[in-house]
Chains A and B, each alone.
Chain A
Amino acid sequence: MMHARFAAIGVAFGFALSRTGFSSWERTHAMFTLRDLHLVFAFAMAVGLLAVGWLAVQAFSREKPEWAPRNIHRGTVLGSVLFGTGWAISGACPSVALVQLGEGQLGAAFTLAGIFVGNYAYATARERWLHWNTGSCVDD
């Protein structure tokens, strides 16, 4: 039941990313080279609506929702530089690699493998050498 609920949202999300154009390497490249701001506008529209949405959630909830803060830590800037670089090269953020694969862009299997291996490698590297906690993006 719980699986079905998350899966339903996942299917709709994958569909929406595809029809927004986020799964197109060409559109992503056009966004980053500032030749076509379609994706930036879509992103900004979502952020604006969400800002209003969260305020509404807080206003209408009986109990104030507890959201873990997302603070700046030692991995914020370097991690984001690595991510932005990887996104520009592969044309994929973590969900987009899956959308591309679903669309039949089979090359994205390499991106997907890279994401899993990169995540694993960073976790191992942090444990052995870095000893810092960079928090987690998991549902808070």
Chain B
Amino acid sequence: MTVVWSWWASGFALAALMLGHWLLTGRMFAVSGRYTAIVDRVRQGAPVEPTLSDAEMIEAIRVMTAEQLGPDAVTPAGRAPLSEPVVKRALPWTVHLAFLGAVLVGGLASALLPGGPGLLREFGGAAFARIFGGHNGTELLALLVGGLLVGAGTRMAGGCTSGHGLCGVSRFQRGSLVSTFTFFGAGIVVSMVLSRLAA
């Protein structure tokens, strides 16, 4: 029998992972942006590597600013000169790919390790089969269409269940609160309708 964690243990594990992600990497946990990074790598090809290092770039900007606006503009009285890069460098796309691959491995581990169901052979269960009509092409078409909506929608909304839902809502971000209420609302309406139609 498959072991499913209690809701409070699950919540604890998910929260610990998001906080751990921040503490270990200095970045917010967000998954749909990783798809975007990989897709953009495919769309745009290899990025142009900057020829200057961050330090050289900052020095060049400092010199140009001083030339145009005078030396006071670059080192205001009482402020330490700029030394750290202000904008975080984007992660290499291979990091995003490694993360997504690792999530898949996590699912495999959960299936095979003690407490797991073993490797599942079929997608979904009774309700999925009832709604999308047994094991034929309709089921796969539904998954494809659903995936298309998830891919386009999360990019359009600028986040998904992790970036908006968990990490955004817990920081009381307005965009995340609106997004999360909206996607849960849409999910409820659509599922209720699907359930009724199949009944």
Contact = CB atoms under 8 A, between A and B. Distances in A.
A114 B179 contact: no
Interface in A69-91: 69-73, 75-91
B166 A43 contact: yes
Contacts of B143: 89-90, 107-108, 110-111, 114
Contacts of A13: 14, 17, 102-103, 106
Contacts of A136: 33, 36, 158
B21 to A, nearest CB: 5
In the complex, which of the residues B105, B139, B149 has the most CB atoms of chain A within 10 Å of its own CB atom?
Answer: B149
A6 B30 CA distance: 12
A138 B3 CA distance: 32
B186 A118 contact: no
Q: Range of interface residues on chain B?
A: 35 or more
A123 to B, nearest CB: 6
Interface string B92-129: 00110011111111111111000111011111111110
A94 B37 contact: no
A84 B107 contact: no
DSSP majority for the A interface? helix
Nearest to A132: B156
A54 B170 contact: yes
A115 B35 contact: yes
Contacts of B127: 25-26, 29-30
The 3 A-B residue pairs with the shortest CB-CB distance in the complex, in nearest-first order: A114-B147, A14-B106, A45-B11
20 contacts: A11-B103, A13-B17, A15-B110, A16-B13, A16-B14, A18-B106, A19-B115, A25-B127, A29-B194, A41-B11, A46-B11, A72-B178, A80-B157, A83-B186, A86-B151, A92-B150, A98-B107, A100-B123, A103-B117, A120-B39
Given A82-B149, A115-B148, 6 more contacts: A15-B109, A20-B14, A90-B149, A102-B111, A107-B124, A116-B38
